[in-house]
């Protein structure tokens, strides 16, 4: 085949069509205008590869293979919501949507065909079909050096995956549209990808408060009583989620209220609203024969059913209209704030097959493979557009997604429950326009309960999902004060977190960022990750017994972990991935701790950092070891950070409600901070009804630190009043 025909699409973005891709694809479906001005502000980009010469395409029988060069050290990140590792180098990722991704194959709830490498560029394959990405897991004959074939028995350098010089992408037979995003850093390439997809999402303020989902068969009265208990116990909460039992029938669903459990839905939603709660409704795509929309939807549905319910073809306007009208009348107009879009993933490879097959056919002409890859996006878009029509922002949950989803107000979740994987997924989501919640459901001990709750409070959605276990934040009495403390801390940080999301919206910068996105370059990241020395252990060692010290020393600052059992027999190890810590906004670093741990290594980006709750000062650009008693999750704030905060309140401020604002500045270094504000609920900000403030803290001639607003761009009145400053802090008071 000939070379590709690359065309510049926007600043630092190039496009080439391959083959004859079908019209249905994530980018085409989402129909979001690229944010050209913001892309322009990032500037043109020089790519670290020559597109014309180094990107190859080849047809092998019915298959189309696209390939990109890889340098020896290059790391490959992204490819959607991956649970098992962060750097995908050496792995083949089979990007099929799957509700039960227990194996490291690449399948997942959100198999986004977008990767970014630490040479500072990204690639998107825009298609509604399955793509396989060989991330340096294949070696072509012409690239193979005979001397690289080692003897596993005797050569310690033997690896299962010899060094490969290429990423090979197996495209769908029909081809796909391919986009390349420049950097120069990996973080910039990710921002460009998000901006090209329309920018990031700005959730309503209430979406960033605490969420609680009640057991599946709760009645209106039980739900209201549980909500009231949050207020009585002084635990902030903004959203109450209902699970399957609100439907008259679920699995398949009717989308209609159950007359016995919820005799007066409007009154129920109103009563909760009066106490400052929003209501979120669980649902899934498969429509019950008992639903009023069943008959009209039937001719607009696929060839196969799921649990006896229809799988509607929501690429059809007529099908969309039926769904939208029903939801509008029965939910949106009575004040329901959004949805949890469940079960829109599915795979026939799991031990319980329930999804329609890839060979299902749909009236629009799409097949089951396409519909499965696209289903999550179809629902996200339909529901978001419905709320937009009412000039209301929504925020909810979804269990399947794909590319071009950054504008969608949806957070991914899973039935998996490994805490480390949950934190890794939070990191990996940041490489490709996704949001993820490490939701809390249950715990085997008060300690695990605390560790999970601490981590979820620093995530895109702080949620307890008690649908099956009936847990409550106070289920472990000894843990309640710690949990209250962290939910309150999240509320205090709401102005800061909301501003981080505004930067996502307008600049494409993810609000939560994995460590490779927290450094200016791969070199800086690698240098910090290998900067370790005995001095970082001193503070911790002093407080520990000799035996613990020996154990920690044996573990070593490298903290290497065994790759897998087969390789372990041959003595193979891999270096630690920093996939258990992340940035929240620019200035806070979160380092979750897992049950059983009382200390951990933390990789700090360059500059000085303070333990947010300890006041200990650390020199960054290296690994430090910190203590983590059960009541504390290690949090770090950058020296010089100027962070907008508010008092912890029972729920987020409503539109028009005024709250005091306090700017907190850390350390003695001068610094800058940012505040974004708007009504927190509508899309009026898109008409400029919003406010940006830049704060600056610096010492005057007298050496005294002073804070002031140096720049203001006010299209709206601030919802904050009584502005105060606390400067030169070493920790949060
Ligand atoms: C699962 C979902 C859970 C819960 C449950 C209710 O599919 O992941 O969070 O909603 O359905 O049946």
pLDDT at 350: 58
**What are the tens digits of pLDDT across the range 563-616?**
344 445 555 555 689 999 999 999 999 999 999 999 999 999 999 999 999 999
The answer to whether residue 534 scores a pLDDT higher than 60 is no
Q: How many Å lie between the centroid of ligand 1 and the Cα of residue 298? A: 25
* Helix 446-456 vs helix 480-492: crossing angle, to nearest 10: 0
Which tokens go with 472? 């409550």
Question: Is 663 touching ligand 1 by the criterion CB < 6 Å?
Answer: no
Write phi, then psi, for 586 (nearest 5 degrees). Answer: -80, -30
pLDDT at 489: 98
7-196 and 642-729 have identical folds: yes
Q: How many Å lie between the centroid of ligand 1 and the Cα of residue 342? A: 7
CATH for 205-509 is 3.20.20.80
Question: Is 74 touching ligand 1 by the criterion CB < 6 Å?
Answer: no
Distances (CA, A) of 458 to 491, 577, 625: 11, 20, 20
Which tokens go with 138? 């294949």
CATH superfamily of the 7-196 domain: glycosyl hydrolase (family 31) (2.60.40.1760)
Closest atom of ligand 1 to 343 CA is 7
The pTM assigned to this predicted structure is 0.95
Band (pLDDT 50/70/90 cuts) for residue 163 is confident
Question: Is 258 touching ligand 1 by the criterion CB < 6 Å?
Answer: no
Q: Which CATH class is domain 516-561+577-588+596-632?
A: mainly beta
Count of CB atoms situated within 10 Å of the CB of 391: 11
Among 392, 395, 384, CA closest to 239: 395
Q: How many Å lie between the centroid of ligand 1 and the Cα of residue 400? A: 13
**Ligand 1 pocket test, candidate residues 217, 467, 469, 471, most atoms within 8 A of CB:** 467
The answer to whether residue 540 scores a pLDDT higher than 50 is no
Closest atom of ligand 1 to 340 CA is 10
Q: What percentage of the chain carries pLDDT values higher than 70?
A: 93
Among 167, 159, 155, CA closest to 66: 167
pLDDT at 218: 98
Closest atom of ligand 1 to 413 CA is 8
Closest atom of ligand 1 to 441 CA is 9
420 contact partners, CB below 8 Å, separation of at least 6? 580, 594
Band (pLDDT 50/70/90 cuts) for residue 349 is low
Q: Which CATH class is domain 642-729?
A: mainly beta
pLDDT at 718: 87
**What are the tens digits of pLDDT across the range 41-91?**
999 999 999 999 999 999 999 899 999 999 999 999 999 999 999 999 999
Distances (CA, A) of 380 to 114, 192, 338, 397: 19, 22, 11, 9
Question: Is 343 touching ligand 1 by the criterion CB < 6 Å?
Answer: yes
pLDDT at 162: 83
Give dist(CA 192, CA 199) in Å, integer: 9
Band (pLDDT 50/70/90 cuts) for residue 733 is confident
Question: Is 437 touching ligand 1 by the criterion CB < 6 Å?
Answer: no
**Ligand 1 pocket test, candidate residues 217, 252, 282, 416, most atoms within 8 A of CB:** 282
Q: How much is the average pLDDT of 165-187? A: 97
Indicate the domain borders of the chain: 7-196, 205-509, 516-561+577-588+596-632, 642-729
pLDDT at 450: 98
Residue nearest to atom 3 of ligand 1 (CA): 415
pLDDT at 238: 99
pLDDT at 118: 97
Closest atom of ligand 1 to 399 CA is 8
Across-strand partners of 724? 662
pLDDT at 563: 37
**What are the tens digits of pLDDT across the range 474-512?**
999 999 999 999 999 999 999 999 999 999 999 999 999
* Spatial contact of 94 and 122, defined as CB atoms under 8 Å apart: no
């Amino acid at each position: 085949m000939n070379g590709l025909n690359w065309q510049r699409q926007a600043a630092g973005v190039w496009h080439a069509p391959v083959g004859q891709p079908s019209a249905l694809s994530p980018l085409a479906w989402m129909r979001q205008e690229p944010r050209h001005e913001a892309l322009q502000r990032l500037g043109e980009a020089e790519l670290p590869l020559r597109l014309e010469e180094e990107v190859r395409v080849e047809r092998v029988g019915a298959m189309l293979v696209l390939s990109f060069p890889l340098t020896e050290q290059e790391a490959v990140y992204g490819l959607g919501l991956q649970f098992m590792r962060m750097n995908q180098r050496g792995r083949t990722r089979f990007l099929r949507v799957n509700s039960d991704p227990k194996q490291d194959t690449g399948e997942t709830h959100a198999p986004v065909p977008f990767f970014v490498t630490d040479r500072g560029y990204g690639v998107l394959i825009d298609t509604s079909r399955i793509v396989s990405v060989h991330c340096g897991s294949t070696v072509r004959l012409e690239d193979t050096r005979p001397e690289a074939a080692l003897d596993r028995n005797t050569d310690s350098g033997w690896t299962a995956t010899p060094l490969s010089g290429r990423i090979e992408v197996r495209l769908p037979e029909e081809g796909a549209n391919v986009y390349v995003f420049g950097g120069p850093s990996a973080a910039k390439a990710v921002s460009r990808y998000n901006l090209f997809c329309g920018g990031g999402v700005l959730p309503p303020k209430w979406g960033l408060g605490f969420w609680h989902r009640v057991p599946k068969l709760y009645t209106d009265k039980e739900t209201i009583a549980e909500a009231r208990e949050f207020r009585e116990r002084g635990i902030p909460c903004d959203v109450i989620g209902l699970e399957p039992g609100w439907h008259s029938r679920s699995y398949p669903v009717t989308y209609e209220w159950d007359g016995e459990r919820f005799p007066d839905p409007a009154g129920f939603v109103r009563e909760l609203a009066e106490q400052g709660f929003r209501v979120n409704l669980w649902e899934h795509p498969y429509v019950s024969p008992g639903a009023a929309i069943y008959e009209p939807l039937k001719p607009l549905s696929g060839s196969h059913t799921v649990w006896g319910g229809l799988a509607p073809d929501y690429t059809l306007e007529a099908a969309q209209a039926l769904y939208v009208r029903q939801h509008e009348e029965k939910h949106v107009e009575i004040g329901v704030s959004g949805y949890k879009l469940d079960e829109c993933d599915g795979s026939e490879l799991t031990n319980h097959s329930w999804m329609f097959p890839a060979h299902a056919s749909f009236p629009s002409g799409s097949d089951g493979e396409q519909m499965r890859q696209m289903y999550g996006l179809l629902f996200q878009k339909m529901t978001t557009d419905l709320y937009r029509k009412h000039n209301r922002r929504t925020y909810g949950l979804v269990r399947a997604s794909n590319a071009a989803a950054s504008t969608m107000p949806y957070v991914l979740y899973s039935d998996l429950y490994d805490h480390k994987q949950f934190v890794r997924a939070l990191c990996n989501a940041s490489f490709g326009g996704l949001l993820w919640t490490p939701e809390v459901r249950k715990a085997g001990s008060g300690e695990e309960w605390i560790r999970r709750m601490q981590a979820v409070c620093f995530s895109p959605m702080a949620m307890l999902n008690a649908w099956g276990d009936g847990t409550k934040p106070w289920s472990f009495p000894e843990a309640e004060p710690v949990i209250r403390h962290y939910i309150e801390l999240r509320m205090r940080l709401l102005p800061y977190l909301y501003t981080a999301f505004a930067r996502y919206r307008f600049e494409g910068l993810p609000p939560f960022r994995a460590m490779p996105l927290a450094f200016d370059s791969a070199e800086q990241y690698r240098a910090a990750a290998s900067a370790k020395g005995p001095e970082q252990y001193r503070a911790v060692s002093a407080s520990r017994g000799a035996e613990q010290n020996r154990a920690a020393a044996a573990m070593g600052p490298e903290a290497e972990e065994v790759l897998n059992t087969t390789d372990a027999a041959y003595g193979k190890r891999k270096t630690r991935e920093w996939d258990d810590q992340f940035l929240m906004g620019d200035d806070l670093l979160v380092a979750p701790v897992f049950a059983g741990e009382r200390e951990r290594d933390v990789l700090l980006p360059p500059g000085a950092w303070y333990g947010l709750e300890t006041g200990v000062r650390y020199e960054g650009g290296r690994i430090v070891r910190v203590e983590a008693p059960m009541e504390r999750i290690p949090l770090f704030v950058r020296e010089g950070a100027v962070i907008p905060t508010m008092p912890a309140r029972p729920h987020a401020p409503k539109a028009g409600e005024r709250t005091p604002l306090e700017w907190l500045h850390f350390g003695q270094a001068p610094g800058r901070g940012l505040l974004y504000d708007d009504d927190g609920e509508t899309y009026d900000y898109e008409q400029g009804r919003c406010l940006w403030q830049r704060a600056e803290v610096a010492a005057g001639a007298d050496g005294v630190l002073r804070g002031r607003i140096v720049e203001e761009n006010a299209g709206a009145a601030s919802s904050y009043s009584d502005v105060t400053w606390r400067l030169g802090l070493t920790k949060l008071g």
